[in-house]
Structure 1
């Protein structure tokens, strides 16, 4: 009942806006998303520079090393009008220390980007894998946006790129100056859905229109395999990449379709609590379970985590689901503190070791810890730049271990 009231208030707030306006004098640039990138360096210059060579300093008119999405919108007023026709841009991926991890792209004419785009560019696409239980919507930030509205419908909106809410709306959220949004509600009801986003300025005036509607489908009872866990299962990595990028889901590298039932932020206790609501509608036959990392790093005892994992195992057995546990990956507290400004419990290594010892007593388990740990008992930066979530390289290691288990069983 409370959720319904909150939703009603939120929908009322979202629909009370002044008319939209076209945003002139901007260019929208979008590029391929690099692997394990934390941020991008964007350079705009008067000359084309070949072979990744440095551009002459006198020819560079704009540069930024703090772009966290595979695209950006620029105000053309920042460049002289006649000059903008002769400008070229290029980008390269950077790590957490702003060091290049790839070459500059080939220079492209600045004005080849989308001029005065009326709609946001979305970057979420789940056509290549089953839709996760908890959706994450992502987009390229809109120039001048103070907030965004994310709308989900159960039918393609009647006016796809309009500014008014659709009559098919089933949920909607107002969010701040972000480039992704984690839906707090699961999608357990079958059907074809669509999501889209629109930007608003500080005066609550729509900037342009809604983005194109992005479809996704929810199916139940069709996936033999499922994954269950926290954000390590849900996806995301390399600090700024959300679970909407399939490459950060270890199940993406398995040779069959897998339903992702992960939820970012979950503790072992939360996993045990939401089991009936989130697992049973999909009736998996086998479930890969990885939970307890957030509990251990937050100071929860191994005994409590083991109790929760035992509860999950018992529930699996009750509902004829085969549980396959993954050992908890190691952590890197220094990187976690740097990226998230969060401490890690001093005794995390001892408690994690106890949990993993328990997991190894289960009939079916996969030891991903041994495949990811370094000689200091930490999660190395090459596998996880934020010290917590394995990046693409780390997720591939996890998938390798799962595939090895499957092949041998």
Structure 2
């Protein structure tokens, strides 16, 4: 095999994949606060529903600029959900007595606080490996600014007096963040028409950008249900007085039910949309590889570099314990394959480093979500089911909070 040719091809595909990941959208520049506001005014008015518009228009002091990162159209869209997420916190008018939760449809429900425990106590119940495998756990439960494997995830000073509301205010803060991620997710989900009219259906670069933007917030649906479930279980086991008050707080339970129902519906709609989008797309690198270092992953990487796998191996079928098992037989020297594997390892590291510089904290969203689902045990599901109030909707909620 022509090793220099192979290495050149691998290098080229890495550069290409990184380039298209970072440059999928037009490079139009918005350099001033006025231009930033005009951009969001235009997009929100044209593409978003009334709920997102209400949150956007609530920003009378123009605090949105604090959350805008960058000046290109891609960067502006990249912070789209963050802007709505953070403005929702301001609109909810959080104080020391309770939260005004915005549900949508001009519905705001004030929920007075009951006694809570600091969410950091969950660190004694949730094993360390699980904590570190969920980035938002470290941010919203442990109040960490750096996470193993991900590096620095926020510039906020999380000193004892400046802990996130999800830590200080326990379940009330967790539900507040749950709602903020819902509206952020809704905002970018509704940009479908922008992508649909701006890009071709087989434009993998643009549509992967769209999917990643929505996936990033959709994943929070599963994360925060885990956090809320853990919070209730720990309260039940260690703080019976707090648990009893939470169970009796009907306003809080109505708010959680309404947000969960909306978020769950949105996630399901997005899942269905992804299936339709993917029918026109070729899988990208992050969806094709698992970075395990296995022969299969190296073979997939080789094929992405434009080299036919048939020149590297052939498939053999063997009978093992009475069952047919497919194995791959190398057609090149083991030493040559090990050299290719080294190149694969180097290039994967290079790709991950370049992506990390672009501050993309998540990859392979479907795998992350599958993992989160696997951690949502029957015990957690049962406690969340008990927390919800059956039959409550945005149309009849007032009947449940009299």
TM-score over 0.5 for the pair: no
Q: Which structure's residues are more often helix, by fraction?
A: 2
Q: Which structure's residues are more often strand, by fraction?
A: 1
Q: For the pair shown, which has the larger CA radius of gyration, 1 or 2? A: 2
TM-score (ref. length: structure 1):
0.25
TM-score (ref. length: structure 2):
0.25
